[in-house]
Structure 1
Amino acid sequence: MREELRRHWPRIAITLLPVLLALAHATGAWRLTALERLDQLIYDVRLRATMPGTPDARVVIVDVDDASLARQGQWPWARDKIARLTTELMTRQQAAVLGFDVMFLEPDRSSGLDRLREIMGGPLGKVPGLAAEVERLAPSLDHDATLAAALSGRRVALGYYFTRTEAPSAKGQLPAAPLLPAGAFPQGGTYATGWNGFGASLPELAKAAPVAGFLNTLVGINGDGVIRSVPLIARYDGDKAQPGYYESLGLAVYRLANGSPPVQPAFAPGGGNAPQLESLRVGRLRIPVDGTGSMQVPFRGQGGADGESFRYVPAADVLEGRLAPGELKDRIVLVGATAPGLQDLRATPVEAAFPGVEVHANIVSALLDRRLLSVPDYAPGYEVLLVALTGLLLAFGMSLLSAPRALLLAAGAIAALIGLNVWLYVGSSLVLPLASVLAMAALAFAFNMSWGYFVESRARRGLVRLFGTYVPPQLVNEMMEHPGRYSMRAESKPMTVMFCDMRDFTRLSEQMAPAELQAFLNTVFSRLTNVISAHRGTVDKYMGDCVMAFWGAPIDTPDHATLAVRAALDMADAVHDINRIHRASGRPEISVGIGINSGVMSVGDMGSTARRSYTVVGDAVNLASRLEGLSGHYGVEVVASGATRELAPGFVWQELDSVRVKGKAQAVAVFTPLSASTPEAQQQTRQLLERWGEVLAAYRRQDWAMGRNLLAPLLAADAKKVLYQLYAQRLASMALRPQDPNWDGATRFETK
């Protein structure tokens, strides 16, 4: 494992770069706007996918829509009309609570009372009884007073808005007292959005309906203008009203519908001088809020009358008495405008043009259902931990796995991250960041695969170019696991080399046309090459009717001799199979001679500047070539040196001779491997080899008579065996010569 890590450390390092970038974002050291925007998009998709999509009959929206404007006249309507609307809803319809998502900032002058009083200051004021008549009519023409009377004593919440400017301005009147005094929060912290101005209802209306809530909302970062959260409290620190924390319209309506329970802030312990605002407790209800005192809006579904999340009633239908008495009994009613010209449509995660009044309706509905989303205070730590753990898993896992498994790991990690996030959202209403870890995982995969393709795969492709024509595919695949270990550089190492030559090739070539001979050689060499490759051998070259191969390079192979001998035996069997086919088709049969030797050889890229190849050279290679030529002399298909026999003890070996080949002064013992598959054959072979060993011993001590006597039973059993015939001739010939005291029993061969 340590070796694997050392080999892949550059790939691991490049994969960790996105992890470090994501950690910088998660810790706040370097906030990336793109990731923040991606988190918002993920939030929007997740919200839309989990909306209930069912209507909430408890909340009704009285809508100032286009049809109502067409029937009742342009906006703003006279205050007496608003008064009639209020009276109809609270008296005849018996609504539980009425909230206005409209504001009454300016006095109503639609009745003309101000103009009449102005006229009375002129000549008409002297008309007898006219002034008295105007004053008598004044109460009925004072529409603001009419609306104030309609509001008085009823559970009605008005709307207003906060502003913040360098030169604070204030219109109207805020509620007589804030929801929470300024001292309700510890010093040194920021717990809500701060404002220094406002636009509120006329004082007489504010006094008549002392419950009011601000209409301000928050839009997403990066200027996307999307409303995802709404402040439940806001801090006013101007000098035109009492400083403190005021409530939103949604919270005001909810409290009004539930007996106006008190509100208490709850804090999470944290570092620094000030604790972090965690939630607002409204009676027994705990509302999670963020650092701005805002609540995530858990939208129910699509907006508007067609969205069917809430019942929409045209305001004109209410004014014209088209609803049955008590049809809205015990409902929470919000009055708002969806007519496009009144510009109260907002961009939300649900849709781009969402009625502003329905945002407040969703807040009220969520509070009633206690369906509340929470951005926990540990979200940054969760993000850091998730990025770190996932990043380390991907960096090390993908670097040590193959490309398909790395893809599965990355896909599985991303799926698990999404599944965990959705599970926490659906099961525990937790809004946790996801963009940074998803982006990190995608980039880590891209970086890792790019490094693997452009750097490591380049090394592998180079390895294939170097060795692909020499080395079996399975060995090339093994070499690709450690491409840095292999090169064409020459080196000396223990190996085994083989020469396989086709006998009587000249005779065959004379009997075949060139094209037929080419096809024949391709067939034979393909069959033999497949056997060599199956035994992990490397094909060095083809030389006319001869193929050369070696074992032990480029991959170190401790059992190189054993593999070479097994390959030689299987090659001999393959030739027998080819001959069976040739006999059936009437084509000439072939035979091969194979020479094998083991020893230290030089292997590498050798040749001239014009032509080079990966090959082996050395005295051990030359000896194998000489041994191949001896196979026909001894009548066997495979001749191996004593060095190969010592390295491959798992075979049954028959010694052939002790020879001195051309170019070597030292005698070399040569052997051939025997096939003995059954126990009976193995027993017979052992007995044969014991007798044969006695023959060789007699031959080497120049006891010719004993040698002939020991060889006779072997010849009788296998008279056609060339080896026995050869030694029978030698024993007969040597018996005619005087004994040589310097003779070592070796046979000299002067030809190659």
Structure 2
Amino acid sequence: MIGLGLLIVLVFVGNAARFYQLGFVDQLSSILYDYRLRLTMPRTVDERIVILDIDEKSLKEEGRWPWSRDRLALLMDKLFDKYGIAIVGFDVVFAEKDESSGLKVLQDLGRNQLRDVPQFQSTLEQIRPKLDYDSLFASKIKNRNVVLGYFFTNSAKGSGKNVSGALPEPVFPSGTFNGRPINFMTFDSYGGNLPGLQKNAVSAGHFTQAPDSDGVVRRVPMIVEYNGAYYESLSLAMARTLLGQPKLLPGFAEGGDNGYVGLEWLELDAAGGKLKIPVDSAVATFVPYRGGQGSFRYISVADVLHDRVPLDELKDKIVLVGTSAQGLLDLRATPVAAVYPGVEVHANMISGILDQNLKERPAYMAGAEVLWLLLIGISLSFLLPQLGPGKAMLVSLFMFAVTQGVSLALWQYGNVLMPIANSLVMIALLFALDMSYGYFVESRTKRQITGLFGQYVPSELVEEMAEHPESVSMEGDSREMTILFSDVRGFTTISEGLDAKELTLLMNEFLTPLSRVVYKHRGTIDKYMGDCIMAFWGAPLPDPEHAKHAILAGIEMQKTLHDLQPYFKERGWPEIHIGVGINTGRVSVGNMGSEVRVAYTVMGDAVNLASRLEGITKQYGVGVVVGEHTREAVPDFVYRELDHVRVKGKDKPVAIFEPIGLNGEVDRDVLEEIKMFHQALKMYRKQDWEEAELQLYNLQRIYPQCKLYQVYAERVAYFRKNPPAADWDGVFVFETK
């Protein structure tokens, strides 16, 4: 069991150390990340950033996208000259020339049909700058904080590179990270902007996104590699432009054989202080989503173009031009929404860079996770097998809560990502292993115990023994127990009057309910000996009240049989009466017998005395007789002392009693009767025959059916004529069993 638990721990330690990958654990890790993100995101609107939306309204008023670049030139003038924005970034790419002005047609006419028309050539030269929309747009972005967007991709296998447009200068030139095994996302193709536009833009950043295996955008690659050089993302380029183009510095975690572990952050050395951008092993940063769609103000581009926006809504704002229109296909699946505008992903990244609330997963976290797995895994592997199901569940839930709590605390107050999927799955499997093992072992134990004791004890005791199998043993043991014998009086005569079938039915009809009474009071049936039942209390399970349970069973057996008499009479069967003998003492209990056959039974003098007590019940005309040790063990009963006797096979005399009922439950008249008899018994033992005879006479007159008083009256009469010896001790000797 412990070995299996440690094996599970090693499996998850290996996964955490990335020796291999367990796909379902990684999937769970993503789900837990999304849950934590949604649980803790602020759900506030960042007023610093505005999204100019190429929405359905804009498409309706301005026509389908792409628009002519003279409209975009007008947009630049309005944004910078009228509204006074701080910066604008484009989440679109301008890869193709704009020929919507008709300039190309006019130029073709000037080279062909109208080449000899001076007036046409002169006019064409005058209007050419106004009709060259690309140049017009380029001039409007020049010397302004305009950041263009572009994308990287990988060409289909065997199709060759697919490049268009121009790239900006790389943020890190080729060879910067030579010799450093950094897992940059690498691409072989790109879609850039027209060279004229790229040249006039202050900067540009890629808007390439890298969804996880489930298609959800959780991270943005901050730096990607193309042709050996390294290029920054749109959000990083905008942040740098806004801060005055500070130098971008790589941050390495020190350590390892070659002096560093890996690239862990990027640093902006801005005038107002250094800004840190944590990155993961793929140089990507987790997007700090503020909330669902609408965490930034959306303004329709058409409203800006048509002067429908108040000036203060755009003054000094960070502006992103993108689209939420479904027809333009810039919608993404994110942890906060299944359909989410891609432009808002960049807005969240810019906001996170400026606020410095980006989540990081430092290199040391892998080692910390391994240590955490070893700590809780080894602890649970050794602890859970020692606990019951309830405590094991509580301990497992506690470990769950601690792991979740530590993770949430690091997330919320340290911006550190602590992976917990391995831990949670490991805890669940260790608990499931413990429960499964416990179930099968318990089932096997129950089957064994049922096989061993099912024929002796009630099912409730079998269940109890299965819960505590350590307290049950078949091996011989010496302990104090209580033994009960019951026997049918005159059974030989009864059996002679019935045929074999009727006799069998009769025995079943009274042995079954009497056995149930034994079971009800937690007794173990040792054996049936013809019409006799032998039972004991105190084994196989310890029972501190074994004597009391035996007495209660003996009294109820008498009542049960009395209630059966009308039924027997209906069947034409004779009345059945039993005697019950009960004795308490130290006996040997366990499997006893031979190599051929064994039985779980009890042996000892206390057993023999119980059998003798059952045999003498008819001598006194009472239903139940208990020995003196039983009486001493159960002081909360009312007893009638019957005699001091020396049974056959025993030299030492014993006091015997009839249990009447629990203290407080016996009628006053019965208590008075017992008192009178005890007085008679005292006179009898003092050899005061006259007083004893008088008391017995009164008892017989009041209770003429009681055989006990008749027995003593006959003894008194005998001793009157035959006085006992001078050393007589009042003990009656039984010569037969």
- Contact kept in structure 2, 1:193 and 1:292, CA below 8 Å: yes
- Rounded Cα–Cα distance in structure 1 between residues aligned with 2:339 and 2:127: 44
Aligned residue number for residue 199 of structure 1? 191
2:122 paired with 1:132: yes
One-letter code aligned to 1:160: Y
SS in 2 for 1:275: strand
2:666 paired with 1:671: no
- Contact kept in structure 2, 1:595 and 1:631, CA below 8 Å: no
- Contact kept in structure 2, 1:157 and 1:213, CA below 8 Å: yes
Aligned residue number for residue 271 of structure 1? 256
- Rounded Cα–Cα distance in structure 1 between residues aligned with 2:719 and 2:65: 133
In structure 2, relative to structure 1, the CA distance for the partners of 1:570 and 1:485 (3 Å cut) is: closer
Instruction: Tell me the CA shift for residue 614 of structure 1.
Output: 5.6
In structure 2, relative to structure 1, the CA distance for the partners of 1:64 and 1:537 (3 Å cut) is: same
Picking from 181, 190, 196, the partner of 2:182 is: 190
SS in 2 for 1:480: helix
One-letter code aligned to 2:131: L
In structure 2, relative to structure 1, the CA distance for the partners of 1:472 and 1:128 (3 Å cut) is: closer
| TM-score when normalising by structure 2 | 0.77
SS in 2 for 1:353: strand
SS in 2 for 1:46: helix
2:207 paired with 1:215: yes
Aligned residue number for residue 367 of structure 1? 353
2:419 paired with 1:433: yes
SS in 1 for 2:46: coil
Greater shift after overlay, 280-289 or 358-367?
Answer: 280-289
- Rounded Cα–Cα distance in structure 2 between residues aligned with 1:76 and 1:445: 59
Aligned residue pair count: 685
Picking from 311, 323, 332, the partner of 2:318 is: 332
Picking from 138, 146, 150, the partner of 2:140 is: 150
In structure 2, relative to structure 1, the CA distance for the partners of 1:730 and 1:670 (3 Å cut) is: farther
Instruction: Tell me the CA shift for residue 297 of structure 1.
Output: 0.6
In structure 2, relative to structure 1, the CA distance for the partners of 1:518 and 1:427 (3 Å cut) is: farther
Aligned residue number for residue 524 of structure 2? 538
2:168 paired with 1:175: yes
- Contact kept in structure 2, 1:575 and 1:590, CA below 8 Å: no
One-letter code aligned to 2:581: I
Aligned residue number for residue 433 of structure 2? 447
Instruction: Tell me the CA shift for residue 187 of structure 1.
Output: 3.6
- Contact kept in structure 2, 1:655 and 1:672, CA below 8 Å: yes
Picking from 222, 240, 260, the partner of 2:245 is: 260
| TM-score when normalising by structure 1 | 0.75
Aligned residue number for residue 97 of structure 1? 87
Mapping 1:462-473, distance limit 5 Å: 462-464=448-450, 466-468=452-454, 470-471=456-457
Instruction: Tell me the CA shift for residue 146 of structure 1.
Output: 0.9
Aligned residue number for residue 571 of structure 2? none
- Contact kept in structure 1, 2:407 and 2:418, CA below 8 Å: yes
- Superposed CA offset, 1:266-313 (max 9, x none): 22234343332222222332222212222111112222xxxx322222
Aligned residue number for residue 658 of structure 1? 646
- Rounded Cα–Cα distance in structure 2 between residues aligned with 1:523 and 1:463: 22
- Contact kept in structure 1, 2:16 and 2:369, CA below 8 Å: yes
In structure 2, relative to structure 1, the CA distance for the partners of 1:504 and 1:423 (3 Å cut) is: farther
One-letter code aligned to 2:646: S
- Contact kept in structure 2, 1:597 and 1:623, CA below 8 Å: no
- Rounded Cα–Cα distance in structure 1 between residues aligned with 2:131 and 2:366: 59
- Rounded Cα–Cα distance in structure 2 between residues aligned with 1:341 and 1:649: 91
Instruction: Tell me the CA shift for residue 334 of structure 1.
Output: 0.9
2:514 paired with 1:529: no
- Contact kept in structure 1, 2:643 and 2:656, CA below 8 Å: yes
Aligned residue number for residue 698 of structure 1? none
Aligned residue number for residue 380 of structure 1? 366
Aligned residue number for residue 742 of structure 1? none
- Rounded Cα–Cα distance in structure 2 between residues aligned with 1:34 and 1:77: 46
One-letter code aligned to 1:76: P
Picking from 33, 38, 45, the partner of 1:48 is: 38
- Rounded Cα–Cα distance in structure 2 between residues aligned with 1:677 and 1:94: 100
Identity %: 39
- Rounded Cα–Cα distance in structure 2 between residues aligned with 1:202 and 1:503: 117
In structure 2, relative to structure 1, the CA distance for the partners of 1:578 and 1:58 (3 Å cut) is: same
Instruction: Tell me the CA shift for residue 160 of structure 1.
Output: 1.9
In structure 2, relative to structure 1, the CA distance for the partners of 1:567 and 1:506 (3 Å cut) is: farther
SS in 2 for 1:213: strand
* Gaps in structure 1 of 5+ consecutive residues: 1-9, 583-587, 696-706, 740-744
In structure 2, relative to structure 1, the CA distance for the partners of 1:529 and 1:736 (3 Å cut) is: closer
Aligned residue number for residue 6 of structure 1? none
Aligned residue number for residue 421 of structure 1? 407
Aligned residue number for residue 581 of structure 2? 594
Instruction: Tell me the CA shift for residue 422 of structure 1.
Output: 3.1
SS in 1 for 2:41: coil
Instruction: Tell me the CA shift for residue 55 of structure 1.
Output: 2.1
Aligned residue number for residue 22 of structure 1? 12
- Contact kept in structure 1, 2:622 and 2:658, CA below 8 Å: no
Instruction: Tell me the CA shift for residue 152 of structure 1.
Output: 1.1
One-letter code aligned to 2:238: V
- Contact kept in structure 1, 2:263 and 2:283, CA below 8 Å: yes
In structure 2, relative to structure 1, the CA distance for the partners of 1:334 and 1:567 (3 Å cut) is: closer
- Contact kept in structure 1, 2:485 and 2:533, CA below 8 Å: yes
Instruction: Tell me the CA shift for residue 60 of structure 1.
Output: 1.2
- Rounded Cα–Cα distance in structure 2 between residues aligned with 1:383 and 1:519: 68
SS in 2 for 1:54: coil
2:376 paired with 1:403: no
One-letter code aligned to 2:47: A
Picking from 222, 226, 236, the partner of 1:251 is: 236
- Superposed CA offset, 1:35-90 (max 9, x none): 11121122223323333222222211112223322322332222222211111111
One-letter code aligned to 1:211: S
SS in 2 for 1:218: coil
- Contact kept in structure 1, 2:446 and 2:463, CA below 8 Å: no
- Rounded Cα–Cα distance in structure 1 between residues aligned with 2:311 and 2:477: 106
* Gaps in structure 2 of 5+ consecutive residues: 498-502, 565-574, 665-670, 700-707
SS in 1 for 2:334: coil
One-letter code aligned to 2:239: Y
- Rounded Cα–Cα distance in structure 2 between residues aligned with 1:385 and 1:636: 75
One-letter code aligned to 1:120: G
- Contact kept in structure 2, 1:657 and 1:669, CA below 8 Å: yes
Aligned residue number for residue 285 of structure 2? 295
- Contact kept in structure 2, 1:104 and 1:200, CA below 8 Å: yes
SS in 2 for 1:359: helix
SS in 1 for 2:106: helix
- Rounded Cα–Cα distance in structure 1 between residues aligned with 2:152 and 2:9: 42
- Rounded Cα–Cα distance in structure 1 between residues aligned with 2:656 and 2:235: 99
- Rounded Cα–Cα distance in structure 1 between residues aligned with 2:391 and 2:345: 47
- Superposed CA offset, 1:334-387 (max 9, x none): 111333333222222222332111111111122233332222323323433443
SS in 1 for 2:646: strand
- Superposed CA offset, 1:594-623 (max 9, x none): 25375656755999x9x9986557887555
Mapping 1:696-715, distance limit 5 Å: none
In structure 2, relative to structure 1, the CA distance for the partners of 1:597 and 1:729 (3 Å cut) is: farther
Greater shift after overlay, 632-641 or 323-332?
Answer: 632-641
Instruction: Tell me the CA shift for residue 155 of structure 1.
Output: 1.0
- Rounded Cα–Cα distance in structure 2 between residues aligned with 1:196 and 1:654: 109
SS in 1 for 2:338: coil
In structure 2, relative to structure 1, the CA distance for the partners of 1:670 and 1:729 (3 Å cut) is: farther
- Rounded Cα–Cα distance in structure 2 between residues aligned with 1:518 and 1:51: 78
